[in-house]
Structure 1
């Protein structure tokens, strides 16, 4: 068995659900990993917009949210908790923002929005998150449930999140690019 300390961190990478992944919570999901270490993994599903606007639950942040300006279902865990993920270009981020990977970071939603607003490149608000205990994600990866690919800052703020699964796969090389054409319902083929 491979110990996590021997595996490089996947923080900042994308988990793209394989067509064979049977869990309805993650059907065609694209998950940005915000934390991955020997204590487990945490991420947010980037392509599950809800009909709830950011203004409905976090009015002060509404003007800073990217399009679509709705709350996204970040995963099946703690749906009553909100996470803010923002892209902030440059080397230094403002107070209230913690870099996760590259230009992508977490926003402390208790911070006054006016302190972060001028620096924000894009902001997404997520209700809940996806979480895995120690070794759980590695087991799912071993079972072939996920493709692991590099993220791009634009993935967080995709204006058409419903197409993100195909977009991310299409930009890969070889077989993964072909999987982007996999039909929604293969039985109709």
Structure 2
């Protein structure tokens, strides 16, 4: 398990976190500043809204499922996209996530105001998120201390997991020690 919050890391909701915005969520950290705050996107919540109905020109580049993901409760009327580039290049319209832990990342954010054609041959995977999750200075650290989140390392396939609804269990199962057992925690403990 990771010991600190860092860009590129994951926040995994503990079973104690019952806020409907984050229950059983997996959040990819996109920005973190000890003196500022933290910004991330929930990567395991596909919505029922097709990309075609909102951003039709980007639909051909989206990695399935071709729907908007619920990125978090903040600014849900805005969209943010993440994409993996095929090479080490930094194409126009794409900004690398500087993780600081795992070396050079091929994952970055996409400028959805850019023409999709300039990225079409450069990216291998892409997802679009409506909204994001945000915490003010010290807020997330407080939630972690209260037992609301596990902080774990991400793996390359997490952001574009083919079965997003199973990502919470998948991430927990691969953790060392007792944390792996949390993956089998029932959805409703009263039904156990």
Superposition TM-score, scaled by structure 2 size = 0.92
The aligned residue for residue 22 of structure 1 is 18
Distance 1:89 1:144 in 2: 38
Look up the SS of the partner of 2:181 in the other structure.
Answer: helix
Look up the SS of the partner of 2:11 in the other structure.
Answer: strand
Q: Paired residues, what number?
A: 183
Over the aligned positions, Cα root-mean-square deviation in angstroms equals 1.3
- In the alignment, does 2:101 pair up with 1:98? no
The aligned residue for residue 141 of structure 1 is 144
Look up the SS of the partner of 1:117 in the other structure.
Answer: coil
Which stretches in structure 2 are left out of the alignment for 5+ residues? 100-104
2:27 to 12, 15, 31: 31
Give 4+ residue runs of structure 1 displaced > 3 Å after superposition: none
Aligned 8 A contact 2:43 2:71 in 1: yes
Which stretches in structure 1 are left out of the alignment for 5+ residues? 1-6
Give, in angstroms, the shift of residue 24 of structure 1: 1.2
Give, in angstroms, the shift of residue 9 of structure 1: 5.2
2:111 to 105, 108, 111: 108
Distance 2:86 2:31 in 1: 20
5 Å matches for 1:8-157? 10-37=6-33, 38-100=35-97, 101=99, 102-157=105-160
- Of residues 88-97 and 75-84 in structure 1, the stretch that sits farther from structure 2 once superposed is 88-97
Distance 2:81 2:185 in 1: 31
Aligned 8 A contact 1:40 1:134 in 2: yes
Q: Residues 19-72 of structure 1, C-alpha deviation per residue, up to 9 Å, x if partnerless?
A: 001211100000000001021000000111111111110011000101101000
Aligned 8 A contact 1:103 1:153 in 2: no
Aligned 8 A contact 2:12 2:149 in 1: yes
Superposition TM-score, scaled by structure 1 size = 0.93
Distance 1:122 1:25 in 2: 25
The aligned residue for residue 4 of structure 1 is none
